[in-house]
Amino acid sequence: MLYSSSICFVAQGAKWAHVGGVTYRYDPMNYLVVSLPLPVEVEIPEATPEKPLLGLVLQVDVAEVGQLLLEMEEADAQIGRHAQPGIYVSPIHPELADAITRLTKASIDRARARVLGPGAMREVLFHMLRGDQGEQLRQLALKAGAGRGIARAVRHLQDHFDQPTDVDSLARMVGMSASTLHRNFKDVTALTPIQYLKTIRLHRARVLMLSAGLGASEAAFRVGYQSQSQFGREFKRLFGATPTQVVREVQASSPEARAGT
Give per-residue pLDDT as tens, 45-58: 888 888 999 999 98
pLDDT beneath 70, residues of the chain: 73-84, 139-147, 253-261
pTM value is 0.69
Residue 119 region, left (φ>0) first, then alpha (ψ -120 to 50), else beta?
alpha
Q: What backbone phi and psi angles, to 5 degrees, belong to 30?
A: -145, 145
3-state SS assignment for residue 19: strand
Residue 14, pLDDT score:
93
Q: Would you say 192 and 186 are in contact if contact means Cβ atoms under 8 Å apart?
A: yes
| pLDDT recorded at residue 151 | 78
**Element (H or E) spanning 170, and its range?**
helix 167-174
Q: What is the DSSP letter of 256?
A: H
Give the pLDDT score at 83.
61
pLDDT for the residue 154:
87
Q: How far from each other are the two terminal CA atoms of the chain, in whole angstroms?
A: 29
